[in-house]
Amino acid sequence: MPYRRLPNTDAARIRAIKRALEKGKEVPPSHLAYPARIIVVLQKFITLFENHIQIYRLATASQNARSKEFQEAFRKAKIYLTHFVRVMNMAIYRGDIPASIRSFYGLSPNELTIPSVRTEKELITWGNKIIEGEEMRLHKGGSPVTNPTIAVVKVRFKNFIDLYNSRQILIKKTSDLGERTNSMRKEADDIILETWNEIEQSFGSLPDDLKKIRCEDYGVVYFYRKNEKKASADVAHSDVR
């Protein structure tokens, strides 16, 4: 007898539940291979499960679609921010402005370094520091850094922040849906397991070959082991001879 294997994909779970439900409609309750109470469980669960899977897929697709737009906004904000600091550093190097102004941005006045903005958190931290520092310096009468100006940097940074915030909301929503999906998958597996156990028990007195056929008609899935495949092939070859 081949071994039984429970579904391991959402599509397979849905097929298994729907097939068992179909048999529940085709066969009178007195001849059904599983208790009639299971029909109610299957009907109630399959609608909720299919709807939830669809919502989860849409949320995941939306998150993936927005990812490219977000990465581009991150790249642009990073470029404009680092270019601003480079231009400021060049002005200091030329002697146009004093090195002490770097302290406005939370940067050391003793070296002309560019802060690391390789991650989202680093970009947010330094974006706020640079923008606030430049605005404070200008408010105190300092000459603006140009090409790019802080106004242009601010536009790029705000675009990044807006997308970052909306993306975090979407990630949280998708994560919550993912947790619920995993919970429903476990529930689906338990329902299918109970249903298949009842079906197999109902046909338990039949010979293995006939039992397999009857159970498969209800959606139970079987797989042959390697040695069973070889044995079946040998039998078939023997029959032909």
Task: Quote the longest CA-to-CA distance of the chain.
Answer: 102
Q: Which residue has the tokens 């993912």?
A: 178
Containing structural domain, residue 38? 3-240
Q: What pLDDT is stored for residue 150 in this prediction? A: 96
Q: What pLDDT is stored for residue 156 in this prediction? A: 98
Q: Which of 201, 194, 199 is nearest to 215 (CA)?
A: 199
d(CA 221, CA 196): 9
User: Beta-strand (E) ranges in the chain?
Assistant: 3-4, 222-223
The dihedral sign for the CA sequence 95, 98, 102, 108: positive
Instruction: Kindly report, residue by residue over 117-162, the tens digit of the pLDDT.
Output: 999 999 999 999 999 999 999 999 999 999 999 999 999 999 999 9
Tell whether the model's pLDDT for residue 35 goes beyond 80: yes
User: Beta-strand (E) ranges in 47-111?
Assistant: none
For helices 150-202 and 208-217, give the axis angle rounded to 10 degrees.
140
Mean pLDDT value across residues 189-210: 96
48 burial type by CB count under 10 A (0-12 exposed, 13-18 middle, 19+ buried): exposed
Q: Which of 138, 206, 183, 229 is nearest to 45 (CA)?
A: 183
Mean pLDDT value across residues 204-208: 94
d(CA 158, CA 162): 6
Number of domains in the chain: 1
Instruction: Kindly report, residue by residue over 55-75, the tens digit of the pLDDT.
Output: 999 999 999 989 999 999 999
Residue 235: pLDDT band with limits 50, 70, 90: very low
Supply φ then ψ for residue 107, to 5 degrees. Answer: -105, 150
Residue 1: pLDDT band with limits 50, 70, 90: low
Name beta bridge partners: 4: 222
